[in-house]
Structure 1
């Protein structure tokens, strides 16, 4: 069985992320782990043109046709199906799995993929269906206001017309599946969660080294690691000043350093926070594993990358309410999840952080349970077998 994954390359700004960190590539790694032959067709990434394989998987690139944004539109919307057709023929592909993303540039090109004569699975990653759950926070993912004609009608119609051409639609969230089932035949919807490399993201023995380098050996660390500056800024403005206790914040990651430091000074948190800057990929698990508590703000997302990484490292999580996050880590068992998705006035979130800062036994219990849950349901091996069953069903139809 030879599978082509058409996936965008995970980036923060213009920086391409590598395996382990690159969340969008993980389904392909899971299938390789399950013994399938895998080819990835992904973005043109400047500086990585010479890479022909990654983690033992063959890489094919969409060509660089023009500068952004015209080049992106041409590659992903106009010529995508012709690029895929060429790769399918040259690589003797049996099945196509294509990422169905949050921006029209990532899915308009899929309109002709069903004509290539191969089973087509669309991996559904779209925030649209969460908007009624978290209207305020959805503004972080779209500059269009809630309720406008384009988002509510035209785009939904376009999106569904493309989805209905697929053999199957992979949905990485059970909550999302329930929303989609209102508009799509349920028998064509398949729940397969996003996987995580549990060896790469693990309770690292080298976490003590990271603490020592940062001068944090004796500190209780409350960590947030991600690339969404606005989410962190909202937390610092609305919640962080209200959280009391003997701890320090750790903010590793690709944040814009100067605006972050300015905001820390403005909120009076400069001495309570450590900002080590962008870390090499292999050091990210060390930073997470060195933490005592991890914060999740993945509200409105459909792929809960950071929650998976935190839990895989065996860390207790405090999260804003998100129905999808609550699937991965359950309130009171692996995490403490507030009943509100909002930053503003969320005293429950504040209380949960303070409770974990004071209660080491609870932190350890939640963290061990989180690691166990990820190993059982989200590892590359487990998810790879789920993909195998799906693809065998595709070929049997």
Structure 2
């Protein structure tokens, strides 16, 4: 009898369960040190099962990752604390896999997945706004072949904890802005790298500004060809938007779960108008959740496309509307906020904090990972096929653009 694709997936899932069972027999989570366990899991190909053999995977379908995660969760095995290294796992790793050399993949992917090395993203700049291609950070190659990088980056999450950064810099100012960029891996511990906290409206300093002063980056840490940085960056950005907006989540989780819990526990706060808004947002959140599951299924067939931009756009809008509804529901009680100190958190904790914090922090959701305005342009042009906005700077050398 011929084997159908579903039969094959089922066979692979059964084999994966056997692999995990054998691994757990050899590495008992109760007695194996956490880092030793994670390193062994990577080496066994049970980190990212869709990655190649030898790079944390088994070359299987992406959708089978859920099988592995379920088996390890059932065994109460330690995970790699994915929220702590979201930029590394969601952005740096798929980019390195797509364009990195074999040496780069073997150097960076294992400690990235285990969480031994945290990553950040050096893309945004004070003078470029939402136009990433207009960035001014310069990288000049010296006689030894190394790159000397000078410039400033901003809104850099986790820079104060990061060992490595994915960096986009301008290597040729004499060509149009999209063609003169090159993509690098930057060591955040190198001389010339200075990280300063940026205090947010929430009071904490989750973001940073990063100053680069003649930072030396070896050519071996260049990702992709010289001048091809914009194409490489698109791989990063598409994965970033999926990571932010495309997570498969349980029904009534996240921000919606907090609002619904308050609604059920505090009947004295309810009004007919708030009830109608909550129901509408519940339906929209459920449609968003199901679309996220569908997007994850599409990812099993290839790289993320512009659909991730739509998910991220919807995520930001819903987060802001739900947090606003929660604040209205609680009235002056919702304005209370227990900690305005200049903290340096490793993680953004939406559901573990107060309503006032959620309301303020959600304002950043429509900026980080691509502004909602830019994402609407991407959806209009690449999904709906609408005419592109006029771009007068398309064929002008970067050095000749007004700044």
Q: Same fold (TM over 0.5)?
A: no
Larger Rg: 1 or 2? Answer: 2
The TM-score normalised by the length of structure 2 is: 0.27
The TM-score normalised by the length of structure 1 is: 0.27
Higher relative contact order (CA 8 A, sep 6+): 1
